[in-house]
Structure 1
Amino acid sequence: MKGPTILLLSLLCWTVSGAGNSGGSSGGRPSISTSELRQESENFLRVDQSLTQPSISYQGRTSASATNDNAARILITNVPRSAMASDTVSRMNQLLDNYEANTNTREDHTRQEQTEEGAFLDALMRTPVMTQLQTFLTQKNLLRGTTLRQALNNIWFTQYRRGGRQIASSGFEHVFVGELKGGKVSGFHSWLNFRKGETEGNLDYKGYMRHIDLNGKGSIVKARFEWLNQPKPVGSVFLGTTPELEMALYTLCFYARPDSRCPIQLANNRLQIQTWTFTNRGKKVIGTPKLSKMSYWDNPANMAADTLPSTNPFGNYTVVDTVPKEILHMIDPHWYQFPPMNPLWYSLVGFWVVMMGCLSVAGNFVVLWVFLNTKSLRTPANLLVCNLALSDFLMMFCMFPPMVISCYWQTWTLGAFFCEVYAFLGSLYGCVSIWSMLWITLDRYNVIVKGVSAEPLTSKGAMMRILFTWGLSLAWCLPPFFGWNRYVPEGNMTACGTDYLSEDAFSHSYLYIYSVFVYFLPLLANIYLYFFIVQAVANHEKQMREQAKKMGVKSLRSEESQKTSAECRLAKVALMTVSLWFMAWTPYLIINFAGMINKASVTPLFSIWGSVFAKANAVYNPIVYAISHPKYRAALEKKLPCLACATDGRDNHSEVVSTATTNEKSESA
């Protein structure tokens, strides 16, 4: 049997009037406008013979990542007998015990169960809501030679495999009953089974995130709960609504907007149902509806007072709602509680990354080109500079286009594989950059502090350092592919990185040890080396002033002292470069540790700054070296006069001499 057909339906907050898919469908389907869908869904609610509403006790707020119980009592405290006596409600209740919860346990679809399903469908077809749906679908020629009852039976009760070997699932079971898969509750969007679970003591309500009222004809709640001792970090459930209303809404969008967002409206609340479809034995069936988005913004009058703090001008979307389904398994439940960022942030970040990307790619390419094509600059020390420029060039060349694309679409659109590759490359090039900076600092230390007593850096020594840097970086960046931590989308959904939200101690160990070898060790080494560099510079300047005073001259500037002056200037430049590196990579460290220690403090907007600052680091280095390295400036002016940044190339050689060049001359002599 082919893979199961899956339809993922998620109620989404629709914030801008008229936004969304206003056109028709593809594949020869008739055009159905947004206004038609909204009007038809309101018609369903209007003709619905609503139930006497149950009593609801929302109690405390919670989040997807919370572990405490914020609800001491049950959610559905009382259901009137008249509601339970409704024909469709009583027929649905008969179906709730017909299914195995585990998706790996084969379903035994008995004749008695098929009879009960038929009775439920017959009851549905007697309702005004289904009459309204059938009229609309017939007018739009969407049923195509079949009756609505046959269509409902096919798309809701066809059984199939859900990722395992057993035929153990159906659309009805997943949506209205719930399933257990991978240690978590999957589906489960029906208040009838929710009430049944609370009554029998196998469902524990933990608190709510959001809820809206449907003008006395039900409500929708986004909540956290446990069922059969398995967690449901984020679950959206209709409360007090009729089975025919829920099934009509899902079925309408299944036909009208397959594989796209379906705008609807209930009690003036503009919502969406997101549909994704797959094929099961040549037929499309409903597999995975998910209610996740609810809007207060379009109808503030419907807001309860205790929901006001959670509302925002962009509605009650979650930041995960636009993520492609193939990477949903990579998303930590923590992110489901957050609305999407303001689109302005995506625009600003996208603009910033474009600007940084262009400057970095061009700047580092020019640095490499000038150093490698200027004989006087091809020194062992400058090989380290070239390695730094290479890692910065590759980082931005490979990473800024995907992030710009993601900012444009306001979510990661390149799939799971490229998400992992993106995160791996970012970690790899960042590690190479950090260790290259350390080797450059060590070279400055040997030249300035140890002086002639230091062993000169050779080309072989420089290459060994470069190979060690790349080898070490690979050693630290490959483990997430093999289970020691993992690469996942970040909270803003525009970039990918390491998983700092996992509660697994084994994953945490990777981040702690990685931080030691890729952040703290290079940082402490730089501080140690620069302490002695600054001390040596200060002592040298003091000695020069004292000697000049004794001799009664203004200053002492022999050729050797000119070289020392150049070394001091380069030390200051290197210190500035490492300080900028510190500013670039520290935000990532803070975000990682915050995710492990205080997850509640990490928001999608907070998570985006790591990428922003890290990518700026790739721009600093070519600018710093272009301004500070006199030989480079002279070569740049000669090769590209239009880009020259030197003031006067004639005195560069006599005014400042590159330490790296001086060392090379000493070697050749």
Structure 2
Amino acid sequence: MNYLTKMRGMRHDDVPDDFWIPVPLDTNNITALSPYLVPQDHLGSKALYYSLSAFMFVLFVCGTTINVLTIACTIQYKKLRSHLNYILVNMAVANLIVSSAGSFTCFYCFANRYMALGVLGCKIEGFSATLGGMVSLWSLAVIAFERWLVICKPLGNFAFKSEHALFFCALTWFFALCAAVPPLVGWSRYIPEGMQCSCGPDWYTTGNKYNTESYVLFLFCFCFAVPLSIIVFCYSQLLFTLKSAAKAQAESASTQKAEKEVTRMVVVMVLGFLVCYVPYTSFALWVVNNRGQTFDLRFATIPSVFSKASTVYNPVIYVLLNKQFRSCMRKMLGMSGGDEEESTTQSQSVTEVSKVGPS
């Protein structure tokens, strides 16, 4: 009995634990071909698979390069070892995990047009991508919280120090493990998703022993709604504080410039967060609330691609737009202009920080 014959006629709940079928088998289901064994050409053309493989390779190269540079730059230059930069490096480490274990795996599997690394490889890729993604997501929330404490000063003269940053960095890994470990121990599971060349938590199936519905609800509340609420609250308070300071010092060109730059930065940060995680969260919730509805698996691949692309545009937003980081990177790479930019940045920072925020 070949594999297709064996699978045909089985009920949805009888499907082996390491295999997933997106629609009922009694509807001429052509996806009853194991994504661990054979190319999934019935889900898309070879050109589409190879295009996604090329895109994942670009994400792997760019994401790995920029995050390695961020970590190396911080190690080389002691002046970068501030409390905020510790959080940025924490996010760079998480992005490096996603780009190396997630993007590279997807590049290889899309090139083969199926989950060529097998069940174990699927679990490793799903766990690594979830762990790194959650650390990165919570790091964004910690950065927003740190900016709120430093600029808005809700605790008065409380100083956010390096030990506080290290504590919050450790907390991001704890939260990430709380999200990434359960599918390995029976609460949900890691399975091929989309075009079956990447893996993530099971948010497709229902009524099984894995309690996937409760896990999806947990992810939405704890790993999306809470960090998003922190980010929106902290950055909205930051904008109010900066606008108040700008009105009080309307004659100061440097203060007005600082207000505009931070406003633009906040908008980019929030948009970056939404681009990273809204597609994945929205699609997962749609599937959970529309059980039995058929959908094109090619569209299910888009959210996964967007989330992995965060390994590139998150460092661009948080690191390359940081003038001090950018200057040190230019110096480390032997590019001219680093010293001049750094001295200008330091003089501007002294002026702007002294004039923005309550005294």
**Same fold, TM-score > 0.5, yes or no:** yes
Whole-angstrom distance in 2 between the partners of 1:483 and 1:409: 29
Whole-angstrom distance in 2 between the partners of 1:182 and 1:589: 24
Tell me, what secondary structure is at the counterpart of 1:522? helix
Match of 1:321 in 2: 33
Give the greater-gyration-radius structure (CA). Answer: 1
Measure how far apart 1:655 and its partner are: 2.7
Measure how far apart 1:653 and its partner are: 2.1
Within a 5 Å distance, the mapping from 1:300-339 to structure 2 comes to 318-321=30-33, 323-325=35-37, 339=42
Within a 5 Å distance, the mapping from 1:187-206 to structure 2 comes to none
Whole-angstrom distance in 2 between the partners of 1:578 and 1:375: 29
* Cα distance, 1:658–1:573 mapped onto 2, change above 3 Å: farther
Within a 5 Å distance, the mapping from 1:442-481 to structure 2 comes to 442-450=145-153, 453-481=156-184
Whole-angstrom distance in 1 between the partners of 2:233 and 2:310: 22
Indicate whether 1:361 and 2:28 are aligned.
no
Tell me, what secondary structure is at the counterpart of 1:496? strand
Measure how far apart 1:401 and its partner are: 1.7
Consecutive unaligned residues of structure 1, counting only runs of 5 or more, are: 1-6, 12-173, 187-223, 225-231, 237-291, 293-317, 328-335, 549-554, 661-669
Counterpart contact for 1:319–1:492, Cα < 8 Å: no
Match of 1:407 in 2: 110
Match of 2:286 in 1: 594
Counterpart contact for 1:445–1:533, Cα < 8 Å: yes
Whole-angstrom distance in 2 between the partners of 1:183 and 1:381: 48
Residues 568-619 of structure 1, C-alpha deviation per residue, up to 9 Å, x if partnerless?
7356424412321211111111121122112425321111011210111110
Measure how far apart 1:384 and its partner are: 0.7
The alignment's TM-score, normalised by the length of structure 1, stands at 0.47
Residues 288-314 of structure 1, C-alpha deviation per residue, up to 9 Å, x if partnerless?
xxxx7xxxxxxxxxxxxxxxxxxxxxx
Q: Calculate the aligned-residue CA RMSD, in Å.
A: 3.4
1:534 to 228, 239, 246: 239
Indicate whether 1:416 and 2:119 are aligned.
yes
Tell me, what secondary structure is at the counterpart of 1:340? coil
Whole-angstrom distance in 2 between the partners of 1:588 and 1:185: 25
| Greater helix fraction, Structure 1 or Structure 2 | 2
* Cα distance, 1:397–1:503 mapped onto 2, change above 3 Å: same
Q: Which amino acid aligns with 1:388?
A: M
Report how many residues are paired: 344
- Identical counterparts, % of pairs: 21
Q: Which amino acid aligns with 1:508?
A: E
Match of 2:356 in 1: none
Counterpart contact for 2:4–2:32, Cα < 8 Å: no
Match of 2:75 in 1: 372
Measure how far apart 1:658 and its partner are: 11
Residues 252-307 of structure 1, C-alpha deviation per residue, up to 9 Å, x if partnerless?
xxxxxxxxxxxxxxxxxxxxxxxxxxxxxxxxxxxxxxxx7xxxxxxxxxxxxxxx
| Greater strand fraction, Structure 1 or Structure 2 | 1
**Bigger shift: residues 511-520 or 628-637:** 628-637
Counterpart contact for 1:179–1:185, Cα < 8 Å: no
Residues 522-549 of structure 1, C-alpha deviation per residue, up to 9 Å, x if partnerless?
111211112111111111111111xx3x
Consecutive unaligned residues of structure 2, counting only runs of 5 or more, are: 17-22, 354-359
Residues 112-155 of structure 1, C-alpha deviation per residue, up to 9 Å, x if partnerless?
xxxxxxxxxxxxxxxxxxxxxxxxxxxxxxxxxxxxxxxxxxxx
Indicate whether 1:8 and 2:11 are aligned.
no
Counterpart contact for 1:361–1:397, Cα < 8 Å: yes
Whole-angstrom distance in 2 between the partners of 1:527 and 1:497: 27
Within a 5 Å distance, the mapping from 1:157-556 to structure 2 comes to 184=14, 233-234=25-26, 318-321=30-33, 323-325=35-37, 339-450=42-153, 453-504=156-207, 506-545=211-250, 548=251, 555=252
Counterpart contact for 2:193–2:199, Cα < 8 Å: yes
* Cα distance, 1:452–1:519 mapped onto 2, change above 3 Å: closer
Which 4+ runs in 1 deviate beyond 3 A? 178-186, 564-572, 642-650, 656-660
Match of 2:327 in 1: 634
Measure how far apart 1:566 and its partner are: 5.1
Whole-angstrom distance in 2 between the partners of 1:477 and 1:234: 33
Q: Which amino acid aligns with 1:382?
A: N
* Cα distance, 1:658–1:642 mapped onto 2, change above 3 Å: farther
Measure how far apart 1:635 and its partner are: 1.4
Q: Which amino acid aligns with 1:496?
A: C
Q: Which amino acid aligns with 1:507?
A: T
Counterpart contact for 2:68–2:96, Cα < 8 Å: yes
Counterpart contact for 1:492–1:604, Cα < 8 Å: yes
Counterpart contact for 1:381–1:462, Cα < 8 Å: yes
Tell me, what secondary structure is at the counterpart of 2:44? coil
Tell me, what secondary structure is at the counterpart of 2:301? helix
* Cα distance, 1:498–1:452 mapped onto 2, change above 3 Å: closer
Q: Which amino acid aligns with 2:25?
A: P
Whole-angstrom distance in 2 between the partners of 1:185 and 1:650: 64
* Cα distance, 1:618–1:184 mapped onto 2, change above 3 Å: closer
Match of 2:20 in 1: none
* Cα distance, 1:376–1:611 mapped onto 2, change above 3 Å: same
Tell me, what secondary structure is at the counterpart of 2:249? helix
Residues 483-541 of structure 1, C-alpha deviation per residue, up to 9 Å, x if partnerless?
21111111311101111111128320111012101001111121111211111111111
The alignment's TM-score, normalised by the length of structure 2, stands at 0.84
Which structure's relative contact order is higher, taking Cα pairs within 8 Å and 6+ residues apart?
Answer: 2
